[in-house]
Structure 1
Amino acid sequence: MWSGPRNISTAMMRAWENRSDTVVVDEPFYAAYLARTPGSRGDHPGRDDVLASQPTDPAEVVAALAAPLPSGVEVQYVKHMTHHLLPEDDLAWARPLRNVLLIRTPDEVVASYLRSREVCEPEDIGILQQERLLDELGEMPIVDAADFLRDPESYLRWLCDWLGIAFTDQMLSWPAGPRESDGVWAPHWYDAVWASTGFDPYHPRGVHLDARGESVVEAVLPAYERMYAQRLVLR
């Protein structure tokens, strides 16, 4: 599942982790991204802890993702942040996998991002990288967060059917609190998810951006609109 930041990606990870046959991986390229991103863009909360917790070589990350699954596990769900991809990264390893894009309207993403970070550039919110994935990996399901939150069960059922696995209503709710699978960055970002026990109902958000935020939205809007037009729509 390839998402940008400030989306429902961690709640989505909870849904899949609540399956008895599934193991989840939380943002495996985070340390590799930080190690290769100097300056303010790489100055994230808990940076040193993240760098110490994961491989910083992308090839090591790919090898770990390809390792055999634990006994009794049939599904590996990987929560990827697309802004962790750099232009030079080879995506060939992902072609044989079942890839999904999780998108969110960029004005809401930028507004949420700027509540946590002082600076936001187009590359920071992952939408341009999502378009690259679509171009390089080919057609894949695209799920819009607003659509999903209006009817989580239908979208999860569709995804399970597409994957050839059985849906379970255990995916719709989960116990509150942290998990061992959470990345070491969780204390900085996961307060809302730790308090949650399911997906929050969708509600539109009023967004007010300054000129800098608006410029980021304008830079990524064509990519978002292209993906939105190709999104999965369930009737």
Structure 2
Amino acid sequence: MIRIAMWSGPRNVSTALMRSFGARADCAVVDEPLYAAYLAVTGLDHPGRADVLASQPTNWAEAVDRLRQPSGKPVRYEKHMAHHLLPEVGRSWLAEVTNAFLIRDPAHVVASYAKVRGAPTLADLGYPQQVEIFRAHGGPVLDSARLLQDPAGQLRKLCAELGIGFDEAMLSWPPGRRDTDGVWAPHWYAAVERSTGFAPYRPEPASVPDELAHLVVAARPHYEELAAHAL
């Protein structure tokens, strides 16, 4: 079984990319398996917190052990939020998977985050964690802007890097919720539940609040290190 661990920051197209892989007949998907462990350690009061904690292991090692279980399909796609990789989480298991990275320009991430969650920290955006994993293990880097500009071309390149064949089914999917969606879907997935494919690329300027401009500056070197390897 090929296990793909796709590491993304927040306010990206990570759920749409999970839909894309879920549309493959040969692929099982797992939605943010470290989320409950992240909430248990941080104590953060996210929407649906109690449901998330009840739906997944709150111990990271148990969550990772579950990921080792066979899925009945030759490919498994794990959608991970990079900020869920807290310092307390062990790293040795990352050598067991094929790591990949979904990135987005930090100005757009910070501008989008500020609209829904207030003021994040650099760790909340996941860039340092992505760079840590990339330096240790490498893996293909997918820039979300390029993905939206050319889904077929970018997915072909990504699949080649992952060692799996490209499947045209990855370009579209039926609307609606999936049994594999996390229990947090009602709070976050309304747009992707309406979608039937990747949204058109809209090159709009990012409106970053002045008080968060320092975050864009702090994140920029991490993003650029990864972007230099983007497909």
Is the TM-score greater than 0.5? yes
For 2:183, the aligned partner's letter is: V
1:32 paired with 2:31, answer no
Could you tell me whether the CA contact under 8 Å between 1:18 and 1:170 is conserved in 2? Answer: yes
Consecutive unaligned residues of structure 2, counting only runs of 5 or more, are 1-5
> How is 1:186-205 mapped onto 2 (pairs within 5 angstroms)?
186-205=185-204
Name the aligned partner's letter for residue 57 of structure 2: P
Q: Does the alignment pair 1:48 with 2:45?
A: no
Is 2:140–2:161's contact at 8 Å kept on the other side of the alignment? no
Query: Is contact 1:23–1:77 with CA below 8 Å preserved after alignment?
Result: yes
Tell me whether 1:21 sits opposite 2:23 in the alignment. no
Q: TM-score, normalised by structure 2?
A: 0.94
Q: Does residue 11 of the first structure (1) align with residue 11 of the second (2)?
A: no
1:161 matched to 2:175? The reply is no
> Partner of 1:213 in structure 2?
212
Tell me, yes or no, if the aligned pair for 2:7 and 2:82 is still in contact at 8 Å: yes
27-36 or 223-232: bigger deviation: 223-232
Which moved further from structure 2: 191-200 or 210-219?
210-219
Aligned-partner SS, 2:214: helix
Per-residue CA distance 1:50-87 (angstroms, 9 max, x = gap): 111100101001100001222xx111000000010112
Deviation for aligned residue 1:165: 2.6
Say if 1:156 and 1:167, in contact at 8 Å, map to a contact too: yes
Give the match for residue 104 of structure 1.
104
Return the letter of the residue paired with 1:77: Y
Preserved contact between residue 140 and residue 162 of structure 2 (Cα < 8 Å): no
Unaligned runs of 5+ in 1: none
Q: 61-70 or 158-167: which moved more? A: 158-167
Could you say which residue in structure 2 is the equivalent of 1:124?
Answer: 124
- Name the amino acid aligned to 2:12: N
Q: Deviations over 1:172-222 (max 9, x none)?
A: 000011111110111111111011000012111222222222121112111
Q: CA RMSD in A?
A: 1.2
Alignment-derived partner of residue 74 in structure 1: 74
Q: Give the equivalent residue in structure 1 for 2:3.
A: none
Matched residue of 2:192: which SS? helix
Contact 1:29–1:84, Cα closer than 8 Å, also in 2: yes
Q: Is the 8 A contact 2:22 2:28 kept in 1?
A: yes
The Cα shift of 1:118 comes to 2.2
Q: 1:18 offset after TM fit, Å?
A: 0.6
Deviation at 1:150, TM superposition (A): 1.1
Partner of 1:150 in structure 2? Answer: 149
One-letter amino acid of the structure 2 residue matched with residue 49 of structure 1: D
TM-aligned CA deviation for residue 228 of structure 1: 1.1
Name the SS of the counterpart of 1:197 in structure 2: coil
SS at match of 1:100: strand
What SS class does the counterpart of residue 95 from structure 1 fall into? Answer: helix
Amino acid at match of 2:32: E
Aligned match of 1:140: 139
Paired residues in the alignment total: 226
The 2-side partners of 1:205 and 1:213 are apart by 19
Q: State the alpha-carbon separation in 1 of the partners of residues 220 and 166 from structure 2.
A: 34
Identity among equivalent positions (%) equals: 52
